Amino acid sequence: MGDSWIGKRVPKRDAAAKTTGTIIYGHDLRRPGMLHGKILRSPFPFAKIIRINTERAAAVPGVKAILTGEDVPDTRIGLGRDNPILNRHVVRRVGDEVAAVAATSMDAALEAISLIDVTYEPLPAILDASEALKAEALLIHDTRTSNLHDKRSYVHGDPDAALLEADVVVEDTFLIPYVAPTPMEPSVVIAEFDADGELTVYTTNQAPYLMQYELGQAVEMPPGRIRIKQTAIGGAFGRGLDVYPFEAVAVLLAQATRQPVRIAYDRQEEFLAAPLRQPVKVTIKTGALKDGTLWVRDARALLDIGAYASLGTVIPVVMAQVVGSLYRVPHARYEADLVYTNNPVTGAMRGFGGPQATLFVEAQMDRLAVALGMDPLSFRLQNANRPDETTPQGLKISTCGLKECLEMVGSMRDKHKEPSPPGKRRGIGFAATLNVGGGARMHRSDGSGVIVKVDDFGQVTITTGSTEIGQGTDVVLSQIVAETLGVSISAVRFVNGDTGVAPWDVGAHASRTTFVAGNAALQAAEEARRQILETAAELLKVDTGELVMRDGSVYVRGRPELGLPLDKIMRARHFRKDGQIVQAQGWYDPPNEQVGSDMVGNLSATYSFGAQAIEVEVDTETGQVKVLRVRTANDVGRVINPMLVEGQLEGGIHMGLGYALSETLFVEGGQVQNNSFREYGIFTAFDMPPIEIQNLETHDPLGPFGAKGVGEIGVAPVAPAVLNAIYDAVGIRLNRIPARPEMVLDALETLQSNDRTSR
């Protein structure tokens, strides 16, 4: 057997196109006759629309269509089906869609938008979730009886009794802020009708088959007449999981003009209109027995979902999973009130509730250990999840290397710790993570379809419904198929991103693509292999059991002189009486469960685990926190491509460090005030510490070649590990992020003045 493709550092299939600038992103795409669309957005968080006058705008040369709420279907778009395409009577957030223009140039579209006169009557905006729940609060959606969108609750064991039984209980309230996914490519869509009235939508959406249906509902078209084509996508991180008004607006402008219409956000519009990571206010108690047994968690969260119900409303499922199943905890409760306000809409962002919940759960693990007089790492090790165990929540954990991962990162403390320079104090903090690693049944189907075609020239084409957002689906599926068929990677072509051609897939979320689409690809490749070997066996007059596929040929085992190249086999199979081609399909829907309103059930077919140790240096004069190094150890099953796994972890850690220390959205009056990268503050290369990655390779029985999902496990443990490291360094406990200098310095002062008074 030649070299295996599994475990190899194979470059992404699109790497050459991306490094030479030849790949076509949504922002690059131009269609013949294409018009430029632009949306007029509300400057008010809450207001009645009294009157819209488009006369001046219509007179701008080049304007082809202007739409207001009166011109579009009175439907609702988005996960909660509560967001009008263009608002007729009321706007509920800054940035709400009010009118739209299509014009022959961007200049004309901008000019026209600036000339639409809207008269608003501002209403008292509700900018705080607690205020929204008061009886006298105005209803943000008058079709509802309250601003409470939903209440979710999860429980196992008897938390009330357990809190009394526990020898030590810690309680904190955490305020976890908005952050923005900010993929480097802002949102974009192009809608185009063909002569037969079929609609093609070019999009950066990351769940195209769900988009097909949702968009159909919104614009009142049969989804079967809609074809979603993904362009190359310049990052997503969850932004592209829901369907938004601007996408329906583009379709309706295209319908009105019978010309293709493009709507492309710039960065400011991206900060204004794209969904943000769900902020959380949570009060949590964690209790333990004095022998160090973690005993109970009890969390109560208030979630300000913003003006419309997007994917922010689904994160309680993941938060409950962290509260209920990260470490072995016999009693747990998680309750959340989800509340409408006139604030920005919250959506999905890498980790999907995991970063928020891991922050408060792991910060409390540290505090509890200290309260018990235990070492934080030993306390974690004692309570770590174990393999082949079903948690009280119903998570069927099969492979689990959490204990080993904690030990791996724990050794960072053993290394000689350099003394802190004057005015600086260093410390190390730990945190772990549990994440879905075998899909996540958020939808009735968690499936993925793949077609593997082998042509007359021995070239293999993978056609998949799965979505490529940079994570490397292209090369992972190629490796799986090349491995199974014994061909070179270069003999495999990767095709995705067209709902009109590729089989269904629920989308790129929940770290699922390698596991789910990978299994479908494996299945399809195995079926193709069976068909190829069937023909080869006939040609070579041997049993299929004696055949091996490698180096693009089929050989008889032990007799390398008896081999046939793949293309010959394919032609022999095809060009004969009753000839056949090879086009095999794989469909994989993992054995996981859609959890009910109780949030109990085995959401994923397997789970990934990780642990991180982070060393920081706190400047005690300024409160600045510098990250010196990060070590991460992860159980991600078998590693199919180390380069990609490392890339997911490094990128997740980068996002987590920004979350912990720098990324800040100042949302005032319902509006993001700092709509630029310079003011938002994602980490630059100059801010990033060295990252040491150790992977513990388990072999998952259900994963393709033993692999589990890795996309989100880098991010969640970062912020709590940083907070725990800050404590280790200077003894302060922060209940908020980002740990900006002033907050750190204030906490240091409070600590010092408390020390003085207690002396």
Partner 1 sequence: MLRPFVYLAPHSLAEAVEMRRVHDNANFLAGGTALLVAMERGQASAETIIDLKHIRQLREIELTAEGELKIGALITLREIIDSQLIRSYAPVLVQTAQLTATPQVRNLGTIGGNIASGLAAADLATALIALNAHVLVATNSGEVRMPLNDFLGDTKVISQQETRIISAVILSGARGHASYQKLMVRNAADVPLANVAIWTQTDSGQVTAVRIAAGNCAGRPARLMEAESLLRGQIITPETIQRTALTATETVQQTGDSRASEAYRRRMVGVLTRRALTQLLELL
Partner 2 sequence: MSNHPITLTVNKSPYSLSVAAHHTLLDVLRDDLGLTGTNEGCRMGDCGACTVHLNQLRVPSCLVLAVNADGADVQTIEGLAGETTGEHHPLQEAFINRGALQCGFCTPGMIMSAAAILDEIPERPLSEAAIREALAGNLCRCTGYAKIIEAILEVANG
- Rule CB under 8 A: which residues touch partner 1? 106-107, 110-111, 266, 268, 621-622, 624, 661-662, 664, 666, 668, 673-676, 678-679, 681, 683-684, 686-687, 740-742, 745-746
Q: With binding defined as CB under 8 A, does residue 25 bind partner 2?
A: yes
Task: Give the sheet arrangement for strand 90-91, strand by strand.
Answer: 90-91, 47-53, 117-122
Q: With binding defined as CB under 8 A, does residue 58 bind partner 2?
A: no
Q: How far is the CB of 747 from partner 1 (least distance, A)?
A: 12
Residue 593's CB is within 10 A of a number of other CB atoms, namely 17
CA–CA distance, 750 with 730 (Å, rounded to integer): 12
Contact 739, 625 (CB under 8 A): yes
**Residue closer to partner 2 (CB basis): 179 or 305:** 179
Q: How far is the CB of 745 from partner 1 (least distance, A)?
A: 7
**For helices 741-758 and 718-730, what crossing angle results, to 10°?**
40
x/- map, 672-711, partner 2, by CB under 8 A: ----xxx---x-xxx-x--x--------------------
Q: How far is the CB of 273 from partner 2 (least distance, A)?
A: 15
CA–CA distance, 99 with 70 (Å, rounded to integer): 10
Contact 112, 55 (CB under 8 A): no
* φ, ψ at 583 (rounded to 5°): -145, 100
Q: How far is the CB of 184 from partner 2 (least distance, A)?
A: 4
**Residue closer to partner 2 (CB basis): 133 or 682:** 682
Q: With binding defined as CB under 8 A, does residue 19 bind partner 2?
A: yes
**Residue closer to partner 2 (CB basis): 416 or 678:** 678
**Residue closer to partner 1 (CB basis): 600 or 747:** 747
**Residue closer to partner 1 (CB basis): 556 or 672:** 672
Q: With binding defined as CB under 8 A, does residue 362 bind partner 2?
A: no
Q: With binding defined as CB under 8 A, does residue 22 bind partner 2?
A: yes
Q: How far is the CB of 684 from partner 1 (least distance, A)?
A: 6
Q: How far is the CB of 742 from partner 1 (least distance, A)?
A: 4
Residue 267's CB is within 10 A of a number of other CB atoms, namely 14
* φ, ψ at 196 (rounded to 5°): -90, 5
CA–CA distance, 410 with 382 (Å, rounded to integer): 13
DSSP class of 330: S
Q: With binding defined as CB under 8 A, does residue 571 bind partner 2?
A: no
**Residue closer to partner 2 (CB basis): 188 or 326:** 188
**Residue closer to partner 1 (CB basis): 575 or 686:** 686
* φ, ψ at 546 (rounded to 5°): -90, 0
Q: How far is the CB of 688 from partner 2 (least distance, A)?
A: 5
**Residue closer to partner 2 (CB basis): 27 or 740:** 27
Q: With binding defined as CB under 8 A, does residue 28 bind partner 2?
A: yes
* DSSP codes of every residue in 294-327: EEEEEEEEEEEEESS-SGGGGTHHHHHHHHHHSS
Nearest CA to 206 out of 665, 664, 517, 603 is that of 517
Which residue type, as a one-letter code, is found at position 92? Answer: R
Q: With binding defined as CB under 8 A, does residue 275 bind partner 2?
A: no
Q: Peptide bond before 565: cis, by omega within 30 degrees of 0?
A: no
**Residue closer to partner 1 (CB basis): 274 or 381:** 274
Q: With binding defined as CB under 8 A, does residue 182 bind partner 2?
A: yes
> Taking CB within 5 to 8 Å according to partner kind, which of partner 1, partner 2, none is near residue 215?
none
Q: With binding defined as CB under 8 A, does residue 5 bind partner 2?
A: no
- For 44-96, strand residue ranges (E) read 47-53, 63-68, 76-77, 83-84, 90-91
DSSP class of 637: B
CA–CA distance, 360 with 393 (Å, rounded to integer): 19
Q: With binding defined as CB under 8 A, does residue 477 bind partner 2?
A: no
> Taking CB within 5 to 8 Å according to partner kind, which of partner 2, partner 1, none is near residue 643?
partner 2
> Taking CB within 5 to 8 Å according to partner kind, which of partner 2, partner 1, none is near residue 389?
none
> Taking CB within 5 to 8 Å according to partner kind, which of partner 2, partner 1, none is near residue 621?
partner 1
Which residue type, as a one-letter code, is found at position 166? Answer: A
Binding piece for partner 2, criterion CB under 8 A, among 68-76, 359-367, 458-466, 639-647 = 639-647
Burial of 161 (0-12, 13-18, 19+ CB in 10 A): exposed
Q: With binding defined as CB under 8 A, does residue 9 bind partner 2?
A: yes
Which residue type, as a one-letter code, is found at position 609? Answer: F
Q: How far is the CB of 485 from partner 2 (least distance, A)?
A: 24
Indicate the helix (H) or strand (E) that contains 261.
strand 261-264
Q: How far is the CB of 679 from partner 2 (least distance, A)?
A: 9
> Taking CB within 5 to 8 Å according to partner kind, which of partner 2, partner 1, none is near residue 742?
partner 1
Q: What length does the chain have?
A: 759
CA–CA distance, 490 with 487 (Å, rounded to integer): 8
Q: How far is the CB of 649 from partner 1 (least distance, A)?
A: 21
CA–CA distance, 741 with 211 (Å, rounded to integer): 42
> Taking CB within 5 to 8 Å according to partner kind, which of partner 1, partner 2, none is near residue 651?
partner 2
Selected from 66, 450, 644, 661, the binder of partner 2 by CB under 8 A is 644
Contact 138, 121 (CB under 8 A): no
Residue 739's CB is within 10 A of a number of other CB atoms, namely 23
Residue numbers at the binding site for partner 2 (CB under 8 A)? 9, 11-12, 14-25, 27-28, 107, 181-186, 232-237, 266-267, 469-472, 643-644, 646-647, 650-655, 676-678, 682, 684-686, 688, 691
